[in-house]
Structure 1
Amino acid sequence: MMKNYLYSLGLFVTAIGSFNGIAQETIRISTGEYPPVYSEKLPGNGKILHIVRQAFAQMDVKVEYGFFPWSRTLELAKNNVWDATCCWGLTPERSQYFSYTDEVTTREYVFYHLKSYPFDWHSVDDLTGIEIGITYNYSYGHKLDSAVSAGKLLAEYASSDEINFRKLLGGRIKVFPIDRKLGSQLLSSLFKPAEVPLLTYHPKPIVLTTVGLMVSKTSKQVDYIIETFNEGLKRYKASGEYDRYIAELERSENKINQ
């Protein structure tokens, strides 16, 4: 009787171990539509999400992406409905609830504007009285975020970067902050060839931000996911594939400011 009990207990423990292994085999990541960078319709879901997938693949971990409105992606990860969310810049507010992986990439935010509008700036104070397009739930660095939150600037909100670019072309806003490379890609992929040359960007960066995955601090797997991804990204970079993908992004950039 005792032998049968111990044998059954051993099978149970083995089954639990196997189940845990299966549970950790796939990481579920919430994200949103951000073409041409992220999209459910793009091959590999876009190059950045492809990099994330390949980093996890180095550790024999699969990735499942779920595409939602951006505000919901945060809530799904914060409440551990999904394992992580990609990809976000570090802010004091987000760091209260999330732990960050190592950076996947770096973003350089600049102000886009019509070439016909003589825009120049050196500090946030220079932006007073200028209609600025802001995309909901995005961060543009502590200084600009704080000035907008305090009501010191004329912020006009929109639900997407594409809408803000259309407002910019229509003269409904004067400037629009966005990652320089992403802005160029959006314009070249979503707008008419005759519209793209109408816009340019100011060379002064608003902020340089690092972007990575976020995992809820309340997740039981937070350390596992962070450590697994960081090690996988390290191996992926060491293989040379990461640099090749970044170089491809650079080649695809439309040099609209030249």
Structure 2
Amino acid sequence: MINYFKLCFFSTCLCLFTSTMAAENDDLTSVVIVTGPYPPAINEADEDKGYVSRLVADAFALEGIKVSFIFVPWARGLRMVRLGHEACIMYYGKTPGRVKSFIFSEPLFEEEWLFFHLRSTDVKWQKLTDLSRYIIGATLSYTYSEEFHKLADEKELSVHWVARDKQNWQLLMSGRIDLFPSVKTGWHQLRNLYSEAAIKQVTTHPKPLKSQLNYLLCSKDHPNAEYFRDKFNQGFTKLKKLRSISYYIPDSNGETWPIESN
């Protein structure tokens, strides 16, 4: 009987010790952010890792949290964070599927998606089905619009999916696709691939495919995800009072910090 109680006492102490050690080792002063290449907004080659990365790091820093970034392919990164291997990933728009797996920060930036095309291609459209006569390039894991994905799935639009933006720019410049939806950073990507003379062949249609708010996403399966989301939001609120959006995007043309409409 004495040995039994000794064993129970030892087991209880061990559990308490283990729990205490786990709590002490649960570092809430640093966070790993998973991301992928999206230059110049997110760029592993830059010292600050791009202006989106700088904003996220600055917001966390105001709450005393140090940020490190892991660069992986986009689809792999989503899976890593969805499974709770890391707490956060940036930077994505909201979709019904992502809302099931992630909690979202306050919106970081708003981006307008435009159709890039060669000047030699006459593009006219008012509704998406008007684009059925064109071959459209698209990049896997990107959020275009619910209607765009629906029409692509139903073969109402001729969409050619590839893994990376670079492939779509090559297809566009060679005339193998007619349209490629991208944001303002698309011009940066083109300049890294082609000469200014070649880029003069390219233009954008003025009608946007959509405007999209992008967020820091935190995993519902990571124990500290909600803590880091709340800390980011608190730091971001402070940051927006200190700096304008032009501090991060010099060519923002007077844009203001985005507000999510309910």
TM-score under structure 1 length normalisation = 0.87
Distance in 1 between residues matched to 2:28 and 2:67, nearest whole Å? 10
Maintained 8 Å contact 1:36/1:189:
no
* Residue 11 (structure 1) shift: 9.8
Distance in 2 between residues matched to 1:60 and 1:123, nearest whole Å? 47
Question: 1:12-27, aligned counterparts within 5 Å?
Answer: 18-20=24-26, 23-27=27-31
Residue aligned with 2:196, SS: coil
Distance in 2 between residues matched to 1:24 and 1:242, nearest whole Å? 28
Q: Percent identity?
A: 28
1:195 aligns with 2:198: yes
Q: Using a 3 Å threshold, how does the CA distance of structure 1 residues 240 and 135 change in structure 2: closer, same or farther?
A: same
For residues 179-228 of structure 1, the C-alpha deviation after alignment (integer angstroms, 9 at most, x for no partner) is: 1x111222233321111110000000111110011111122223211111
Residue 125 of structure 1 corresponds to which residue in structure 2?
129
Matched residue type, 2:161: Y
Question: 1:57-72, aligned counterparts within 5 Å?
Answer: 57-72=61-76
Matched residue type, 1:198: Q
Residue 12 of structure 2 corresponds to which residue in structure 1?
none
Residue 220 of structure 1 corresponds to which residue in structure 2?
223
Distance in 2 between residues matched to 1:219 and 1:13, nearest whole Å? 17
Q: Which runs of 5+ in 2 are unaligned?
A: 1-15, 254-262
TM-score under structure 2 length normalisation = 0.85
Residue aligned with 1:86, SS: strand
Question: 1:104-115, aligned counterparts within 5 Å?
Answer: 104-115=108-119
Q: Which runs of 5+ in 1 are unaligned?
A: 1-9, 252-258
Residue 175 of structure 2 corresponds to which residue in structure 1?
171
Residue 143 of structure 1 corresponds to which residue in structure 2?
147
Residue aligned with 1:220, SS: coil
Residue aligned with 2:75, SS: helix
Residue 43 of structure 1 corresponds to which residue in structure 2?
47
- Out of 200, 210, 213, the position equivalent to 1:210 is 213
* Residue 250 (structure 1) shift: 3.3
Maintained 8 Å contact 1:106/1:211:
yes
Distance in 2 between residues matched to 1:243 and 1:116, nearest whole Å? 34
Question: 1:91-106, aligned counterparts within 5 Å?
Answer: 91-106=95-110
* Residue 94 (structure 1) shift: 1.2
Distance in 1 between residues matched to 2:41 and 2:170, nearest whole Å? 18
Distance in 2 between residues matched to 1:105 and 1:196, nearest whole Å? 26
Distance in 2 between residues matched to 1:13 and 1:76, nearest whole Å? 26
For residues 118-147 of structure 1, the C-alpha deviation after alignment (integer angstroms, 9 at most, x for no partner) is: 111100110113100010111111111211
1:250 aligns with 2:256: no
RMSD: 2.3
- Out of 167, 188, 191, the position equivalent to 1:185 is 188
Distance in 1 between residues matched to 2:46 and 2:35, nearest whole Å? 14
Residue aligned with 2:79, SS: helix
- Out of 70, 81, 84, the position equivalent to 1:80 is 84
- Out of 229, 232, 243, the position equivalent to 1:229 is 232
Distance in 2 between residues matched to 1:191 and 1:235, nearest whole Å? 40
Distance in 1 between residues matched to 2:210 and 2:189, nearest whole Å? 20
Maintained 8 Å contact 1:131/1:156:
yes
Q: Using a 3 Å threshold, how does the CA distance of structure 1 residues 44 and 83 change in structure 2: closer, same or farther?
A: same
Maintained 8 Å contact 1:237/1:243:
no
Maintained 8 Å contact 2:42/2:49:
yes
Matched residue type, 1:225: F
